[in-house]
Structures are given as C-alpha cells and as structure tokens.
Amino acid sequence: MATTVFAQEPQTSGNRPFSIKVQGFMGGYLSPSGNIKDISPNAPTGINFGVELPSTRQKPWQQYLNDPTVGIGMSYLNLGNDVMGEGIALYPYIMINALSADRCQVKLKVASGLVAVNNHYKMTLDEEIPNRTFGSLLNAYLSAGLNGDFSINRNLKINTELGFYHISNGRISEPNKGVNVLYGGVGLIATLNPDEGKELEPKKFPDLPYKWSLNITGAAGVQNADIDDDRRFFVSTFHLGGIYSFANWYGTGLGVDVFYNDAVSELTKRNLYCPKHRYTNAQKTRMGVSWNNEFKFGDVTALVDWGVYLINPVRHYYEVDHTAYGCDHRLPLFYKSEGPGGQETFHYIRFGLKYRIWDNLYVQALAKTHLHICECIEFGIGYQIPFTRKGDRAKYGKVFHHTRSWWE
C-alpha cells in the first residue's frame, strides 16, 4: 500500500516536500496475560521513525478525507526484559486531520504492518518461565492513536502521540496470547522542501458515480488450534455483501458469510471440542449474516464487519459442560459466552484491508475474532461490482469501472 501511495504522488518542478519523524515512547501493558505477569517485564519502551508525505490535493481520496498525510514507519520495541525480548515493526500509516490551529494540529493515526520479535515460545523453552506471549517470529502489528504537532518554524515541529498497539500472529502459530500496549511519546518532525508543490492547483473532484456495490470474495488461511497440535488446519470463507456509500469515503451494508474451519475436529488437543465425536464437513461449516463497514482510502479500503451465526453446528459439540446450559451440549442459537463457547461465541468480528489491484478486482487480508480472541487470519481475492447511478449510465454503463477517470 505504501509503495503505491508514494509512487502515485504527482511530481513538481522541484523535489517533493516530505517530513522525517523521530519519536521516543514509553507505555504499559493493558490486561496482561498470566504469562506476562509471571515474566514481570518492565514498561515497554521504543523509538518510532517515519517518513511522511502531505496531501497535494491531486487525488480524489485526498480531498474526500480532508487532506490526510500518509507515511511509512519503522519502530524499535523493547518489550521489557530479556524473556519478552525486542521487536522491529514496519508499517504504512495514514493520519487524518482532526483539529487545526495556527501552530497546532491534531491528527488521528492508523497503522497496520508486520513486526519481527527476537524471542518467542520455541526459542525460549529452556527458560524457567517460557515466553508464551508470542508463538512465532513474525507477527501482525496494529496501531492507532492521536498525534499533536506544534510548529517551531516552517521546517521543525514538536510531535506528541498517545497511542495503542497490538502484536499477535492471528493464531497461525500457538501460543498466541499477544500484547496490547498503551503508550505516550514525544519527538521531532523535520520537513524538507516545505515550499515545493505550492504551485500545484488543487483539483476539484466530483462525487463517486455510484452508490451501490456488490462484493464477492473468497478467502483462505490456516489455524494452529492448540500448542500441542502437530498440524495446522485449513480455514476458508465465502462472502457476498451489498454496500451503500453514504459518503465518498464510507459505505455500509449487509452481507452473507459462509465459513469452513477444519480445526473443529477430534484431531486437535484443544479441549473445546469433543475428541470422541467424528466431525463431518457439514458440522465444520457455519453461515452468518453481517453488518459491513467500508472506509475508503483510494485503492485501499479498511473493512470492519460484525455478524451473527444463523447456522452454527459447532455449538452442540463442546467437550466440557457449559456453566449456563448444563451437560446436554445443546446450546441455543444465541448462547451466553460463558464456559465452553467463551472462545467460540454466537457472533463474530472481521477487520482488515483490501486493495484494488486492477479495475474492480481486489485482494484482501482479514482477521476474524470471537470477542477479543482471534480465530484466524485469511487472505483472499474478490470482485466489486459498482452499479452506476441512473443519471450517469449513458456515460459509464450500468457497471462502473475504476480504470476510468470519471472526473475528467
């Protein structure tokens, strides 16, 4: 995403203005797991580095989002002691303007990328208290927060940040307790070539020529269900959803999801399912309806879905008696998330990104969770069918194609 954003920025007669950010931070663990409490790490600290490009108002999405700043960042993370170890994160990010004054700006920052940690479970089995926080070298890195910039002069700013970051591997490898950190930071931003690009005339873009669109997506991934399993299980999803665009940058609608999870199996050591039962493919398949939300950043779209299962045979096959419903294992469709089922609730959340690679064709990466517990990470491919507004169909046809520059 970052490569595409940077490459598509228009060139001026001179060098493109950009900023370099250096920021130190310190934080604390939110709801630390029992393993983190046993390890007793110090407060996590680190340094954030970033290269940022301001909006040139030459792209539709820049104007629709009130001239955001895009950047690519790298963070050094000290997670508190030798057992927790250290990490290096690499991620693209976007900052959306929230408040602005003469010498002060407040921006909302959202970032998503990858982080490599030097200590994880398989590397620390000889420790008296092993590190069960991370099950793999490579993990997902998600971050969000508020930035405050205070101008010293046109080239230099003091930067402050209050943010949150999450690290886990999405259950690709167990253990996957992960970390959630709330942090505060302060640093400096140096802007190079601040006056370049001012000769560019901001373009005025019309609204998107469609309101309704249909998304058709297939995705798949793997899941390590339990730390003692010697295998990974196949997971897949088929999604069909209709989206209505209330604004050029936001759309919402309803979708239908069909999930298959081979980890619903007697072959896993996970004590959630009954080892005496032989699960069929039909019993490993669930179907739900979801409320879908899309936040549009040009070719990149952020997705947040919330759904409920309408067909969920898994709820009938828990190994342990349910604290609310007894020992017959026949839970109602919308059961309480207590005891068995606490990790497999009647509802689900999906969030991630999709990127349009050509015209209406896109690839996506999504995490599916039950409450705060991740079930899996999936990667997929799909096609969006945007239905052109009636007044524009003579020009664009019934289906709009993104390869067309509709503002010209």
In this predicted model, what pLDDT tens digit does every residue of 272-303 receive, in sequence order? 777 777 889 999 999 999 999 999 998 999 99
DSSP E strands in 298-342: the ranges are 300-311
Domain with CATH 2.40.160.20 in the chain: 2-192, 210-396
In this predicted model, what pLDDT tens digit does every residue of 111-121 receive, in sequence order? 999 999 999 88
- Percentage of residues of the chain with pLDDT beyond 90: 60
Question: What is the rounded distance in angstroms from the CA atom of residue 166 to the CA atom of residue 172?
Answer: 16
| Residue 240 in tokens | 């069909």
3-state helix, strand, coil in the chain (%, to 5): 10, 50, 40
pLDDT at 93 over 90: yes
pLDDT at 124 over 90: no
pLDDT at 107 over 70: yes
- Give the pLDDT confidence score for residue 76 in this predicted structure: 98
Looking at the DSSP assignment, which residues form a beta bridge with residue 260?
236, 285
Contact call for residues 156 and 191 (beta carbons, < 8 A): yes
Q: Is 380 exposed, middle or buried (0-12, 13-18, 19+ CB in 10 A)?
A: buried
pLDDT tier for residue 246 given thresholds of 50, 70 and 90: very high
Given its phi and psi angles, is residue 200 left (phi above 0), alpha (psi -120 to 50 degrees) or beta? beta
More confidently predicted of 273 and 340: 273
- Give the pLDDT confidence score for residue 329 in this predicted structure: 64
Neighbours of 198 (CB within 10 A): 9
Looking at the DSSP assignment, which residues form a beta bridge with residue 374?
369
Task: Name the architecture of domain 210-396.
Answer: Beta Barrel (2.40)
Average pLDDT, the chain: 88
Task: Tell which CATH classification among 2.40.160.20, 1.10.3720.10, 3.90.1150.200, 3.30.565.10 matches the domain 2-192.
Answer: 2.40.160.20
- Give the pLDDT confidence score for residue 13 in this predicted structure: 45
Considering only CA atoms, give the Rg of the chain: 24
In this predicted model, what pLDDT tens digit does every residue of 158-190 receive, in sequence order? 999 999 999 999 989 988 889 999 999 999 999
Contact call for residues 143 and 111 (beta carbons, < 8 A): yes
In this predicted model, what pLDDT tens digit does every residue of 346-389 receive, in sequence order? 999 999 999 999 999 999 999 999 887 889 999 999 999 999 99
Q: Is 116 exposed, middle or buried (0-12, 13-18, 19+ CB in 10 A)?
A: middle
Looking at the DSSP assignment, which residues form a beta bridge with residue 88?
76, 116
Place of tokens 């409920």: 308
Nearest to 291 by CA among 349, 232, 358: 349
In this predicted model, what pLDDT tens digit does every residue of 188-230 receive, in sequence order? 999 887 666 555 677 788 889 999 999 999 999 999 988 888 8
Q: In this structure, is the dihedral angle defined by the CA atoms of residues 225, 301, 165 and 8, taken in order, positive or negative?
A: positive
Question: What is the rounded distance in angstroms from the CA atom of residue 260 to the CA atom of residue 287?
Answer: 9
